[in-house]
Amino acid sequence: MRKKLTNAELEILQILWQDGPSSVRHVNTILSKRRDIVYTTTLKTMQNMAKDEILKRDTSQRTHLYEAAIEQQSVQTDTVDRLVNTLFQGSPLKLALQALGHEKTSKKDLEAIKKIIEELEKPDQQ
């Protein structure tokens, strides 16, 4: 990832990852349901993100459409790596324990965690 993303940029990316290519109006409508934000702020942020190559802008139609130029998985990996290294002294265990102890973990999530642990415990099959 090129730079540390702001919370506002991450919010916009989440919308685009979920909804696909979208207009500024669409993104602003969703953001305004969460907090007070004006259209021009959303527009300027998305224009800057396009300039920084975080978003792609399709200008072939009257209403410009924006889409994420970076993968969600890449952003998640970079963000978790930074979090582990800066707040948890490089320990994924400390992060996992904090995350699991912070909120009630669903049965479905616990099963997924168990499955991941089982996969990690398997000897390499080469």
Same domain? 49 vs 13: yes
Q: What is the CATH number of the domain that holds 26?
A: 1.10.10.10
2 lies in some domain: no
Q: How do residues 86-125 score in pLDDT, each as one tens digit?
A: 999 999 889 988 888 877 888 998 899 899 989 989 886 5
Is 81 a member of any domain? no
> How far is it, in rounded angstroms, from Cα 17 to Cα 41?
20
Q: What is the pLDDT of residues 40-92, one digit of tens each?
A: 999 999 999 999 999 999 999 999 999 999 999 999 999 999 999 999 999 98
3-state secondary structure of 81: helix
State whether 95 and 64 are in the same domain.
Answer: no
Residues 47 and 98 placed together within one structural domain of the fold: no
In a 13 Å sphere around the CA of 23, the CA atoms on its Cβ side amount to 9
Structure confidence at residue 11 as a pLDDT band (50, 70, 90)? very high
User: Which DSSP state fits 22?
Assistant: B
**Domain identity same for 53 and 96:** no
**In whole angstroms, how far apart are CA 36 and each of 8, 14, 49?**
12, 18, 20
Q: Is residue 10's pLDDT more than 70?
A: yes
Q: Is the pTM of this model over 0.85?
A: no
| Whether residues 64 and 96 fall in one domain | no
Domain that holds residue 110: 91-126
pLDDT at 46: 98
Q: How many domains does the chain have?
A: 2
Torsion of CA 90, 92, 94, 98, to 10 degrees: 130
